[in-house]
């Protein structure tokens, strides 16, 4: 396989894995809007949100995901299980670090939907659960994107290989 073909396969896989979180989030919001009868007000918000999600996902895929997959491939096989774990960590760790709740001053307080999440700069149990839930959602999006990336790489590099094996 030529170097140019291999490079183009990785670029195409990166594009698709960058679009995966966007498609999942847009589907989630369209389904939610359908059940709450507010489809009219969602259109413009989805467009701007889609561009932002795609940009952030592409950054994660290129800056964190691609180097991770290259490093892991040097030491072990990049199987679906390894791809899922790496994708989860690439999605989870940056948001977990940047939204760490112990960075506020002692006088800070916060509520979400009327539930106290931060009291005098200290997160409540609801605050910790909200923090973990948000980070896990990003981790899940990374996991799915990494599986898409790995699938596309395997299918393009080894077209006759069976996909149902843990490759």
pLDDT tens-place string over residues 59-92:
999 999 999 998 998 999 889 999 999 999 999 9
Contacts for 65-71: CB closer than 8 Å, 24+ residues apart: 65/14, 65/17, 65/90, 65/142, 65/145, 65/146, 65/149, 66/10, 66/14, 69/146, 69/149
Is the model more confident about 136 or about 32?
136
pTM for the model stands at: 0.84
C-alpha–C-alpha distance, residues 69 and 167, integer Å: 14
Percent of the chain at pLDDT > 90 equals 50
Dump pLDDT digits (tens) for 117-151.
888 888 899 989 999 999 999 999 999 999 999 99
Q: Measuring CA to CA, how many Å separate 159 from each of 41, 58, 116, 142, 154?
A: 44, 26, 53, 25, 7
b/e sequence 105-117, b meaning 16+ C-beta within 10 Å = eeeeebeeeeeeb
């Amino acid at each position: 396989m030529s170097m140019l073909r291999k490079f183009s396969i990785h670029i195409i896989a990166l594009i698709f894995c960058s679009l995966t979180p966007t498609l999942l989030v847009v589907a989630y919001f369209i389904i939610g809007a359908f059940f709450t009868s507010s489809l009219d007000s969602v259109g413009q918000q989805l467009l701007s949100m889609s561009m932002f999600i795609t940009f952030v996902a592409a950054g994660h895929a290129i800056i964190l995901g691609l180097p991770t997959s290259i490093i892991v491939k040097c030491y072990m096989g990049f199987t679906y299980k390894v791809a899922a774990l790496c994708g989860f960590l690439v999605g989870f760790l940056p948001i977990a670090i940047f939204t760490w709740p112990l960075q506020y001053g002692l006088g800070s307080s916060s509520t979400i939907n009327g539930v106290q999440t931060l009291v005098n700069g200290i997160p409540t149990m609801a605050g910790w659960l909200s923090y973990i839930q948000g980070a896990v959602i990003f981790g899940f999006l990374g996991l799915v994107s990494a599986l898409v990336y790995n699938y596309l790489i395997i299918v393009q590099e080894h077209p006759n290989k069976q996909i149902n094996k843990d490759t």
